[in-house]
Amino acid sequence: MLGKERQVEKMSTQSVRTRVGKYELGRTLGEGTFAKVKSARNTVTGEDVAIKIINKEKILKHKMVKQIKREISTMKLIKHPNVVQLYEVMASKTNIYIVLEFVTGGELFDKIFRQGKLKEDEARKYFQQLINAVDYCHSRQVYHRDLKPENLLLDAEENLKVSDFGLSALPQQFREDGLLHTTCGTPNYVAPEVLNDKGYQGATADLWSCGVILYVLMAGYLPFDEQNLMTLYKKIHKADFTCPAWFSSGARKLISRILEPNPQKRITIREILENDWFKKGYKPARFSEEGSINLDDIDAVFDDRLENLVKEEKETKPVTMNAFELISRSQGLNLSNLFEKQKGLAKRETRFTSKHPAKEIISKIEETAKPLGFNIEKKNYKMKLQGEKSGRKGHLSVATEVFEVAPALFMVEVRKAGGDTLEFHKFYNNLSTGIKDIVWKSEVNMGDKSVPQE
């Protein structure tokens, strides 16, 4: 029997599930200012999906309807194996639901952060898949405008998937001069002509970003990286960078032709496809083109007529006994390694296990995070940490939750809810030092003083 204290700490034996149409919503995978992404299951087919949930009131208040329509239109136009697929769009009275392919391998950014530079053949494979996707998007007159490793996901087979078309441009956004004029994207990956504010071609600007990504894959760091924005822009305008000694001659030449500051002289995708370095081991994407694509339902999600709306239903049901509970009933089995380097749960997150009481875990995280400059909100066994200072992509926001997976064994999930991914990794490294005393170390890894990380 559990004591009174343990009974208080015991997680509820019931959970509230939300069902939207035929989809049962699961855990939150990511959060932004106007939307959150949750895992979900199609109750008809059993297929796992990701659902982007956008609050209608917020986007109307901030006049973002055109932007959301553009994002949905873009993803419906693109049907390619190296692009995250949009399955369908639904709406309730309060939310818009974008049902997406569930990509389980995490961000390419995380792979680079953990591993450092990639081997040339591996970097080339990802670059080939990126060019395949970008070439197809451009053939549909869709320009991404924010290509970077954080927006490149990996599936279970380590194939690249381009995501996040929130800044994409469609043909109707071009002005009379045939050029785009909105400065957007992440500064380190942005082409010099975008920064000039004199108009630019979406295709050549995307290609510059691809060149920066190839450099990062092979070097493990950025070609242009300065704290001072003006210094950064000057280096980008001059293409002031140096290739590391380990780059092959073929890779150096190709990167130099892509990172050409004059867009008129920059290599084209057609020329890249004929490049000897690029062609090594190249496998063109194989897929079947679908017929005409109907965009009529995009307007329907902003129409409040009842026949266009799906029901949001909440139901309370017992938590299903999971593998951890079953394993914990057998003596001598060690669970700690199950939480190290798990794939496919969510991007930008990490987990660790602890045998300390749940309240003590929460207190220790709070005690460690406050001196790092975070404001803290607590609700039961969940915490939200909000950075006081604004970083490269606004304030870093971190969500934590404690789960009881077996008697006297807890799993703690720490994930980025908003802000910059690199800043999240730095935060977690600092957090790891402060909470190391509560992390469970098995006999296998007792000599390892680091906190298990994904």
Whether residue 392 contacts residue 423, with contact meaning beta carbons closer than 8 Å, is answered with yes
Tokens 């607590």 belong to which residue? 378
Whether residue 149 contacts residue 140, with contact meaning beta carbons closer than 8 Å, is answered with no
205: nearest Cα among 185, 232, 226: 185
98: nearest Cα among 34, 168, 50, 42: 50
393: nearest Cα among 106, 186, 233, 223: 186
Whether residue 170 contacts residue 298, with contact meaning beta carbons closer than 8 Å, is answered with no
52 is in an annotated binding site: yes
Tokens at 259, concatenated: 């990172």
Cα–Cα distance measured from residue 15 to residue 18, given in angstroms and rounded to the nearest whole number: 10
Q: Where are the alpha helices (DSSP H) in 338-420?
A: 358-369
- What sign has the CA pseudo-torsion 41, 45, 51, 56? negative
**Which of the residues are catalytic?**
146
Tokens at 124, concatenated: 């080339």
- What sign has the CA pseudo-torsion 107, 111, 116, 121? negative
Whether residue 415 contacts residue 348, with contact meaning beta carbons closer than 8 Å, is answered with yes
Tokens at 247, concatenated: 């780059």
DSSP letters, 66-107, are HHHHHHHHHHHH---TTBPPEEEEEE-SSEEEEEEE---S-B
* Residues annotated within a binding site for ATP: 52
Q: Known binding site: residues?
A: 52
